[in-house]
Amino acid sequence: MKTTDRQSLEQKLLESQDRLTAIMRTTTDAVVVIDERGQILVFNAAAERVFVCPAQNAIGTQLERFVPPRFRTAYVAAAERWLQTDAHVGGVGVLSELSGLKATGEEFPCDVLISQHDVGERREFTVIVRDNTERKRYEEALLGRVKFETFLFDLSRTFIGLSEEKVDVNMERGLAHVAEFLEMDRVTLLEMSRNREEMTVAYSWSAEAVARPVPAITIRHQPWWMGQTLRGEASLVSRVDDLPAEAALEKEYLRQRGVASAASIPVTVGGEIAGAISFVTVQRRVTWTEELVNQLRAVAEILWNALKRRQAMQALLAAQGVLRESEERFRLMADTAPVMVWMAGQDSLCHYFNRPWLEFTGRPLEAELGNGWTEGVHPDDFGHCMTTYVEAFENRESFRTEYRLRRFDGDYRWVLDSGVPRFNTDGSFAGYIGSLIDITDQKLAQETLSNLSQRLMQAQEEERASIARELHDDLAQRATTLVLRLQTLARDLSPGTNEHVRLQALCDQAFTLAKAIPALSHRLHSTSIAQIGIAAAAESLCQELSEQHQVTIDFMHEGIPENLAQDVAICLFRVLQESLTNAIRHAGVRNFTVALTAVPTEIQLTVSDAGAGFDFKMATKGRGLGLVSMKERLSAVGGDVVIESQPGAGTTVRVRVPLPRR
């Protein structure tokens, strides 16, 4: 063989390897290849970013170094299970809600996909890690906002329709509830004096062993803080030592009372400073972020309105009769409440709407009375809304329902309507009172989160397909051509010569590469779904897994449409792949049943075994079966999944995906 030919073949082999290296380098997920001992062989560029560790420092070390200490025992056990599987198994598994460990010592949430393959006589494992830090941060922020909005609604609803004698005790409970939710050790509501030289405590709540506030704060004893309040500026102190020099008296006061962090939010009435609400911690330091300060302002507004309503009630009692005062008190509270309020009589007809309701709809009170308010309900929601409303009235039960209500600008907004029955002192039914809050932004946020999850799954499928096509259409063909040419050249050489041995070794390497590329391409993305349909693709998957794992999978299908939407087909294929992989790994039996059937309204997929089963509650806590991944995929196509399992009683996965109406 000529030296130039050999060099040309070696160059092409290097080019194929370089192309595969380029793919590994440009993928957004960390890709780590380890051997049977857990030693790292490949560490791509994304892995360097995710684990904050250069490849040269990672290769040759154990993968265990990137597993948090509390998970290492489980990792070792999982590694032992991998080693006990068939050396030729090419199974794929997804483990959700895991944590990785960066070289800096910082943990991060991640999804992990593990597959195994043969390289010559060796068995290697490919570990793909996706960093979920940003997604988790977004989900936690969204959950925090939803929790706070719910808390704010419950707090404001507490003071609607409250009798005067119950204001004091409910105000104290409200302050305690605020302190518990915001993790504060003391919350105090203060009123500004008429001469604007001092503020007195109206209500206060303090945790055990926390000093209560002084009854009054004067401008002489705390000039800096009083000045901040009179200017309408919030006072935010994360560390007492950070107070400015002109706040020396305030600094000494806070130190004496063991305060770690403090915040004071001014409240106004008619554009004039009327008081303030203060928040104090002694056990922890608080960073007063913009979002937290906005939450404090919202809480302050509700509590201050409650305080002013109490004062208004006292003034009305002094000037008018009890009956008239009670009516005015309710209307004052309702009109100043940050929610829409309605009232209905025994005949279910509405006879009152507060100012926020009328401002929202832009209609006069006369137009809303009786059943006039229903003209603003979205036509698609009208039936459900009225059914809920009428059934609650007939049964004298509380109700909560969501529907779209037309705003003054013509835009339909989602609202949450909560109603409770009212009873007279003699126990007779008096009607209903209810409140509405606009939940459109909350719904949009939930929809955004759902769309984000769908886009992530779609991007994952697209990335898999792109890499699989590159591997199959380019690298696989090049590798196959290279093997054929090497085999041809080898036959022209005398066996046993150095050149023949060397060329044969190159031929073996190229053959191993040519064999591994299609397998990797198929694991990443199966093109058979679009070509032959979900039924045939599912049957092929069952046959492939049967041969790989030496198990029996009984597959049947019936009535599956040939023109099934591609997203539905891919979803069913991935869920089947996940369910079967988990069943084969954990059931401890060799026989499995898969049924894929269609009825006029939906497609049903069932995967069952008579194996070991598991405690479903414990499994869902650990998220080890990929249930979250299944639900996210199915949610994107309107489907759902139910898993039935008990220890020793086998497992059945039931999937339902609706078909579009004809």
Residue 119 located in a structural domain: yes
Q: Say yes or no: 124 and 228 in one domain.
A: no
Domain boundary among 286, 319, 352: 319
Which pLDDT score, from 0 to 100, does residue 94 have? 44
Residue 175: what pLDDT? 83
Cα–Cα distance between 431 and 257 in angstroms, integer? 51
- Paired tokens of 49: 């970013």
By DSSP bridging, strand 591-598 and strand 552-558 are: parallel
Check: CB of residue 449 under 8 Å from CB of residue 139.
yes
pTM over 0.75? The answer is no
Residue at which a domain ends, from 438, 472, 506: 438
In the block, residue with structure tokens 């041969």: 547
Mean pLDDT by runs of 10 across the 662 residues of the chain is 63 62 72 88 89 91 90 81 57 58 90 82 86 82 78 73 67 84 89 87 87 87 90 90 89 89 84 86 90 84 72 54 54 68 90 89 93 94 92 91 93 92 87 88 73 60 62 64 72 76 76 66 58 83 87 92 83 87 90 92 92 72 60 81 88 90 54
In the sheet that holds 350-353, the strands lie side by side as 350-353, 340-344, 429-438, 412-423, 399-406
SS (H, E, C) 359-372: HHHCCCHHHHCECH
**What does the alpha-carbon distance between residue 346 and residue 365 come to, in Å, rounded to a whole number?**
19
How far is Cα 492 from Cα 362, in angstroms, rounded to an integer?
92
Q: Do residues 640 and 542 both lie within one domain? A: yes
Q: Per the domain annotation, does 543 fall within a domain?
A: yes
Domain interval for residue 401: 339-438
Q: What is the CATH number of the domain that holds 650?
A: 3.30.565.10
User: Nearest-CA neighbor of 66 among 143, 127, 4?
Assistant: 127
Quick check: is 278 in a domain? yes
The tokens of 57 are what? 């420092």
Provide the number of structural domains found in the chain: 4
pLDDT at 18: 62
Alpha-carbon distance values, 645 to 578, 610, 632 (Å): 16, 10, 21
According to the model, what pLDDT value does residue 210 have? 86
Are 467 and 538 part of one and the same domain?
no
Query: Quick one: three-class SS letters along 261-329?
Result: EEEEEEEEECCEEEEEEEEEECCCCCCCCHHHHHHHHHHHHHHHHHHHHHHHHHHHHHHCCHHHHHHHH
What confidence score (pLDDT) does residue 136 get? 84
Cα 144 to Cα 151, 265, 522, 649, distances in angstroms: 10, 21, 41, 40
In this structure, the answer to whether residues 315 and 229 fall within a common structural domain is yes
Whether residues 613 and 572 fall in one domain: yes
Question: For residue 393, what is the enclosing H or E element?
Answer: helix 379-395
**Which amino acid, residue 467?**
I
CB atoms within 10 A of CB 449: 15
Is the same domain home to 173 and 123?
no
3-state secondary structure of 470: helix
Distances (CA, A) of 53 to 45, 143, 419: 10, 32, 57
* C-alpha span between 404 and 444 (Å, rounded): 13
| Assigned token pair, 105 | 């010592």
Region for residue 638 given its phi and psi (left: phi exceeds 0; alpha: psi -120 to 50; beta: otherwise): left
CB 490 within 8 A of CB 507: yes
CA distance 94 to 625: 8
Q: What interhelical angle do 627-636 and 566-586 show, nearest 10?
A: 170
Same domain membership, residue 159 and residue 78: no
Do 126 and 145 belong together in one domain?
Answer: no
The pLDDT, as a whole number, for residue 617 is 64
Say which CATH number the domain at 481 has: 3.30.450.20
* Same structural domain, 111 and 142: no
User: What are the angstrom distances between the C-alpha of 580 and each of 87, 559, 577?
Assistant: 19, 22, 5
In a domain, 332, yes or no: no
- Asked whether residue 333 is domain-assigned, the answer is no
Quote the CA–CA distance of 305 and 302 in Å, as a whole number.
5
Q: Which residues are paired to 558 by β-bridges?
A: 597
Domain contains 610: yes
| Cα R_g (the chain), whole angstroms | 34
Does residue 324 lie within any of the structural domains? no
DSSP structure class, residue 373: G
Boundary-marking domain end, from 472, 501, 522: 522
Q: At 150, give phi and psi (nearest 5°).
A: -65, -45
DSSP 8-class letter at 550: T
Beta bridge partners of 605: 596, 655
- Whole-number pLDDT of residue 362: 94
Residue 504 makes CB contacts below 8 A (sequence gap 6+) with 490
Collapsing DSSP to helix, strand or coil, 240 comes out as helix
> Is there a domain that residue 230 lies in?
yes
Q: Which of 626, 609, 598, 534 lies closest to 571, judged by CA? A: 534
DSSP 36: T
433 and 454, same domain (yes or no): no
CA atoms within 13 A on the CB side of 99: 12
Task: Please tell me whether residues 299 and 386 are part of one structural domain.
Answer: no
Same-domain pairing of 190 and 313:
yes
CATH number of the domain bearing residue 254: 3.30.450.40
